[in-house]
Amino acid sequence: MKTGILGGTFDPIHLGHLRAAESAREALQLDKVVFVPAHVPPHRRDAVSPSLDRFAMVALATSGHPAFLASDIELRREGPSYTVDTVGEWLEDNPGDTVVVIVGSDTFPDMATWRDPEKLFALCRVAVVNRPGEERGELAGAPPGTERVAGPGLPISATLVRRRAAAGQSVRYLVPDGVAEYIAKRGLYR
């Protein structure tokens, strides 16, 4: 099984995340894409919502796609959520899988600062999804097994969604309907 893993804070998950995952799924012929909300983001300690709320929003956002799956793998671990640990655990539980970690082109240069990047790159391939309006180009310093993925990107950010929600503005058509309803019901980002 060829499995994509898309991790992140997902505070909240939005349509840009889903479009990036779909572009990677199609381009690399992935059997499934697993969305993994970080319990404790190691490079970003400013998560606004509790991890269980972020997981719930990911589950709502992915429920309508047969190849998308929400995973609580990082929520079950204490301490910082390191991708190398997640990929290692995934491969232990799914020994026949080939894992492709999906990242945005803005995140890829930072991967060298992640925990044990050499081990991570040995465990998986990496799909680098273009940001909206970005041209497909070479990835400087990319290890073998790294591939750039083109596709239509959506210029949406979690920061934009949080700001709109905080101002009492609609977030519909920026996030899936179920996520918009969850944000409203829980009073998130207010």
DSSP state of 90: H
pLDDT digits (tens, 9 = 90+) for 113-161: 999 999 999 999 999 998 887 766 677 778 888 999 988 889 999 999 9
Does pLDDT of 188 surpass 80? yes
CA nearest to 75, candidates 123, 41, 116, 124: 41
Identify the pLDDT of residue 46.
65
DSSP state of 130: P
**φ and ψ of 187, to 5 deg:** 65, 30
Mind listing the domains of the chain with CATH numbers?
Answer: 2-153 (3.40.50.620)
Identify the pLDDT of residue 33.
98
Identify the pLDDT of residue 137.
67
The helix/strand/coil state of 34 is strand
Q: What are the tokens at 107?
A: 């995140």
Q: What are the tokens at 111?
A: 């991967």
| Helices 15-28 + 51-62 axis angle, to 10 | 60
Identify the pLDDT of residue 139.
77
Identify the pLDDT of residue 125.
97
Identify the pLDDT of residue 32.
98
Identify the pLDDT of residue 47.
64
Identify the pLDDT of residue 136.
66
pLDDT digits (tens, 9 = 90+) for 2-57: 999 999 999 999 999 999 999 999 999 999 999 999 999 887 666 689 999 999 99
Identify the pLDDT of residue 45.
63
